[in-house]
Amino acid sequence: MPTNTFGAVMTSPTSGLLRRSTYGLPSHFDDSDCDSDSDVIDDTDSSDESLSYSISDDETSSDSEDEPFSRSTLSKSQRSPDEVQQLAETLASIRLRTRHHDPYEDWERQTRKDAFATARKELSASNTQFQTEQERLCLEESRKLVAQHDKRISEVRSWLENRRSEAQKNREALIQAWTARKSQLWNDVKEGIRYQEEKIARELEEEKKRKEEEERQRREEELRRTLAEAKRREEAEKMKKEEEERLRQEEELKKKENIEQQTQQQEQRQKKEFLEAEKASREQLGLKTEFMNWADTRYHLKSLKAEIAIVKADRNLRAAWGNCRRHIKPKVGQLTNDLNAIQAISQEVLNVLRPPTPHDFRVFLAILSSFAKDILLQAEVEITAEKRSAIPLAQLTFNILASVPEFADVFFAKLVQRVGGWPIPYAVPNQDYDGRKWENNEERLKVMGFRKSEEGNALESEAELSSRAAGIMRVYFLILQINPPHGPLSPMFQTTRYWSWFARILDEKSLMQSPITAELIYTALNVMGHDALQIWGGQWIKLLALIYEGVTVGFGSNRCIGGQTPEGRASRVRVQLEIERIMSTIT
């Protein structure tokens, strides 16, 4: 289908329908003959006639020139009438085609011309608009470049001005620095000259003073030698007299110590004989000596450790023990000085100790041991800071002692384990209760109550042990003070133990020089001294007089209760004041 330059489909100017003409050609004739250029069509129209004649002439000339060949060909193959007729029609069609004038082709040629003219006009307008826009953009770009150039020039000028200003400032600063340096150099030179002059004058003055000092020292040295010689002779005579006096005193002291040792040995023999004589009566009355109490306590402690070791080795027993410990330990920390709260906590502890289903006996002993340890540790921590905190601890312990008889031996064993033989009181011997020698001195000190110091692995000092023992023994003395409403407790927790404790500690001379003795005597008097006066009356006053003598003038030469350490002297003063306070209540 014919199209214009812009791709539009061309239609007939008259009918607007697509047109197709073959001008007598066969139906299979190619339509491309109609699409030739207008110039070619014009040339074809002008030469149609000549072409037809040319074909005719060519045929004639061909016939004449190739006549021998044609004849031979015709002799072999003659054209049929149909072929001749078709050839004639073809020639006629060609002639008609060359002479035919088609309006559609004229319209098509004119349309193409109009399209080309319109395209050229639009192209010209587009080119003009494009050139105008290009000129505008070039002008704007030129203006921007000029503005940027002006701005750059302004910045460069400003930078140069700043550099010139900085250079001027630097120059002025350098000039000032140079001037100051020059002035400082001259000042340093002048100062150096002045310093050297003063130094020379000072050296001359010091040399003069040195010579005068040497002369003075020489004279003093001569006088010192003279005095030293006289003093040396005097000191030699004095030392000779002191040595003679020291030897005399040592001799007297040895004699005195021998006499005291003999006296002590005699007292021990008499005491042993007395105890042997009273052994039968003691056994009948159930009374025991200090050693017997200590041996029983050590035995109970070792037995308790053996039972706890069995509990630790068994998973089920250990779990039951741990569960009870977790219930009891917080209760001890919740104690306050309120009777109702103490009774409630006591009942809760008893519920753990004696549940509906009884504990295994080993677990029961382990629980009692843990509870006793919690009480004693709480006493060590709290009572040192606040003495009144011992009251609820003592009341709780008393309630359990009154309800659980097995707790007495366990608690007293743990008490002796924490502070040594002071609750009995008894001086720890050089061997255990069964005759076994201590492995080393550290084991003996541990049995005496010494523990690892908080500051390191070394054992605590005697002052630290004294502070701990005072807190724990305050709880013990408060338990002795309580009057049991439902019958007596174990013998070690009865009120009569208070008198026995004083009688034993005053009779144990090996303990009298320890500062712990004075501190524990003060603690016992502070807790129950006035109550003891109401119980024992005149006998207690005699005992107080004996203690007062021990803390003031002492028993014998320099044998005051508590020794001569600063802690012992301080504790003696507290004992003295406490006795005076108790005696002041007598009317």
CA distance 561 to 519: 10
State the virtual CA torsion across 495, 498, 500, 505 in degrees, nearest 10.
170
pLDDT at position 51 is 40
Mean predicted confidence (pLDDT) in 60-70: 41
* 100-148 pLDDT per residue, tens: 777 888 898 899 999 999 999 999 989 999 999 999 999 999 999 999 9
Q: Give the Cα-Cα-Cα angle 149, 153, 155 (nearest 5 degrees).
A: 115
Q: Which of 16-20, 121-125, 241-245 has the lowest mean pLDDT?
A: 16-20
Backbone angles phi, psi at 137, to 5 degrees: -65, -40
CA distance 349 to 395: 13
pLDDT at position 371 is 96
Six-digit token pair at 485?
């409403």
Give which of 512, 495, 506 is closest to 571, Cα–Cα: 512
Do the Cβ atoms of 517 and 561 come closer than 8 Å? Answer: yes
Mean predicted confidence (pLDDT) in 306-321: 94
pLDDT at 191 over 80: yes
Determine what percent of the chain is predicted with pLDDT higher than 70. Answer: 81
* 314-362 pLDDT per residue, tens: 999 999 999 999 999 999 988 999 999 999 999 999 999 999 999 999 9
pLDDT at 230 over 50: yes
Q: Which of 25-39, 80-94, 272-286, 496-510 has the lowest mean pLDDT?
A: 25-39
CA distance 271 to 269: 5
Mean predicted confidence (pLDDT) in 551-556: 84
Residues 6+ apart with CB under 8 A from 522: 571, 574, 575, 578
Residue/partner pairs of 520-524 with CB below 8 Å, 24 or more apart: 520/422, 520/425, 520/469, 520/470, 520/473, 521/547, 521/561, 521/571, 521/575, 522/571, 522/574, 522/575, 522/578, 523/470, 523/473, 523/474, 523/477, 524/473, 524/477, 524/498
Domains in the chain, CATH or no CATH each: 289-481 (1.25.40.510), 495-587 (no CATH)
Mean predicted confidence (pLDDT) in 499-527: 92
